[in-house]
């Protein structure tokens, strides 16, 4: 797991030159990248969501595209379109912005459900289909989607199937006073993103993604994941609990976190640390609980308190 740990530290130090004081959020983003998952960033404007995506793309040398979603955007504006070439008398595929390796979909909830659905195939199957022809996505492929939790006018809430495609959801939040003063000093002459270099080769990233699959997860820890997810489904304040895809997200993210720490095995503490980021956005709170201001975070905390933690046992080789 040494290669994963080294790559993680290099990426973290590099991205921190642009995103100040958000160590935990950057680590979660790296986990999603290492797991080949997608990330939903829910926060107010101006806290660095776009810069985080650009910094990750620059650090690993991936192609980067930004899609600004609006209500009048069509699915073909995302996936691409076939255009008839009069010289060759054939249709040519003009790829859309989704055909990049790291894609930032800004204000995803401003697009209509029809346009939002254009992302489903790309995110889940790593391919897009246009006019009956399927085009594979380049690897690695990651979607970072942002949405504003405050301004709901003119928005279309993401359906459960769309939200469930995201491995994690994070919140950047406002920086502290000292960090914001430091940010002003850093950007007094130019933006730090202009000086950001590639610190990880694509081959190294792919190797790290494959190495994570070798992290050992005991059956007791797997059962703990399932018990935790099941608790969210049976909770009295939850209308719809986490899906089996949520169990897989927690499973894969825990392996990546263990590898970042230089370990080749997962412990229950890894599960606890990642439970909120991987499961909270998949929960639908019941109407009666929403009146009481019950939040998904409270549900996850409650599930962690009431789900028995497995003990250690000797692995028989």
CA distance 34 to 40: 15
Q: What is the CATH number of the domain that holds 258?
A: 1.10.8.80
In terms of DSSP bridges, do strands 284-285 and 238-240 run parallel, antiparallel, or are they unpaired?
Answer: antiparallel
- Residue 48, both tokens: 């660095």
Q: Are residues 137 and 280 in the same domain?
A: no
Once rounded to an integer, what is the mean pLDDT over residues 136-141? 88
CA distance 189 to 8: 29
- In this predicted structure, the answer to whether residue 104 has a pLDDT above a threshold of 60 is yes
- pLDDT per residue as tens digits for the range 72-85: 999 999 999 988 88
Position of tokens 């958000």?
22
Once rounded to an integer, what is the mean pLDDT over residues 247-251? 96
- Where does the chain have alpha helices with state H? 2-15, 23-34, 49-60, 76-79, 113-116, 118-125, 160-163, 177-186, 202-212, 219-234, 244-260, 268-279, 287-291, 296-306
Q: Which domain range does residue 90 map to?
A: 2-208
Q: Is residue 314 part of a domain?
A: no
Q: Is residue 315 part of a domain?
A: no
**Percent of the chain's residues with pLDDT above 90:** 58
CB 259, CB 212: distance < 8 Å: yes
Task: Using pLDDT thresholds of 50, 70 and 90, give the confidence band for residue 224.
Answer: very high
CB 208, CB 6: distance < 8 Å: no
CA distance 156 to 169: 18
- pLDDT per residue as tens digits for the range 290-316: 999 999 999 999 999 999 998 766 555
Q: Are residues 197 and 254 in the same domain?
A: no
The residue out of 192, 208, 224 marking a domain boundary is 208
- Residue 50, both tokens: 């776009």
* Of residues 289, 292, 307, 278, the one with CA closest to residue 28: 278
Q: How much is the pLDDT for 88? A: 85
- pLDDT per residue as tens digits for the range 151-172: 666 678 888 888 999 999 999 8
Instruction: Average the pLDDT over each of 145-154, 173-182, 303-312 and give the range with the smallest value.
Output: 145-154
Q: Which residues make Cβ contacts (< 8 Å) with residue 140, sequence separation at least 6?
A: 33, 36, 60, 62, 101, 102, 202, 205, 206, 209
Q: How much is the pLDDT for 313? A: 64
Once rounded to an integer, what is the mean pLDDT over residues 251-259? 96
Q: Cβ-count burial of 229 within 10 angstroms (0-12 exposed, 13-18 middle, 19+ buried)?
A: buried
Instruction: Average the pLDDT over each of 51-55, 192-196, 234-238 and give the range with the smallest value.
Output: 192-196
The residue out of 186, 208, 230 marking a domain boundary is 208
Q: How much is the pLDDT for 260? A: 94
Q: pTM (2 decimals)? A: 0.89
The residue out of 208, 240, 268 marking a domain boundary is 208
* Of residues 77, 87, 84, 88, the one with CA closest to residue 114: 77
Residue 101, CB-side half-sphere exposure with 13 Å CA sphere: 16
DSSP 16: T
Q: How much is the pLDDT for 316? A: 56
- pLDDT per residue as tens digits for the range 271-296: 999 999 999 999 999 999 999 999 99
State how many domains the chain has. Answer: 2
Q: Which residues make Cβ contacts (< 8 Å) with residue 146, sequence separation at least 6?
A: 40, 41, 42, 43, 49, 50, 104, 105, 106, 107, 108
CB 297, CB 276: distance < 8 Å: yes
Q: How many residues does the chain have?
A: 317
Q: What is the CATH number of the domain that holds 98?
A: 3.40.50.300
* Of residues 172, 163, 173, 117, the one with CA closest to residue 279: 163
Q: Are residues 25 and 158 in the same domain?
A: yes
Q: How much is the pLDDT for 183? A: 86
């Amino acid at each position: 797991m040494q290669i994963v740990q080294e790559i993680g530290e290099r990426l973290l130090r590099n991205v921190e030159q642009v995103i100040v004081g958000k160590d935990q959020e950057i680590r979660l983003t790296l986990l999603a990248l290492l797991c080949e998952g997608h990330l939903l960033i829910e926060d107010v404007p101006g806290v660095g969501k776009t810069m985080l995506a650009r910094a990750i793309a620059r650090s690993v040398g991936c192609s980067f595209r930004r899609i600004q979603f609006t209500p009048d955007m069509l699915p073909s504006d995302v996936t691409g379109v076939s255009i008839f070439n009069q010289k060759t008398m054939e249709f040519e595929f003009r790829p859309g912005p989704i055909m990049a390796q790291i894609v930032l979909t800004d204000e995803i909830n401003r697009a209509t459900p029809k346009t939002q659905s254009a992302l489903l195939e790309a995110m889940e199957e790593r391919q897009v289909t246009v006019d009956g022809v399927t085009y594979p996505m380049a690897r690695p492929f990651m979607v970072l989607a942002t949405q504003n939790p405050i301004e709901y006018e003119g928005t279309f809430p993401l359906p459960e199937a769309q939200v469930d495609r995201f491995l994690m959801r994070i919140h950047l939040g406002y920086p502290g006073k000292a960090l914001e003063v430091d940010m002003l000093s850093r950007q007094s002459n130019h933006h730090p993103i202009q000086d950001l270099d590639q610190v990880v080769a694509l081959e190294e990233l792919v190797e790290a993604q494959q190495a994570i699959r070798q992290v050992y997860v005991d059956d007791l820890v797997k059962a703990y994941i399932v018990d935790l997810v099941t608790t969210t489904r049976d909770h009295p304040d939850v209308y719809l609990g986490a899906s089996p895809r949520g169990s897989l997200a927690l499973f894969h993210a825990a392996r990546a976190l263990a590898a970042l720490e230089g370990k080749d095995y997962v412990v229950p503490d890894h599960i606890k640390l990642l439970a909120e980021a991987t499961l909270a956005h998949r929960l639908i709170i019941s109407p009666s609980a929403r009146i009481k201001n019950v939040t998904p975070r409270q549900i996850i905390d409650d599930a962690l308190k009431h789900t028995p933690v497995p003990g250690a046992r000797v692995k028989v080789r």
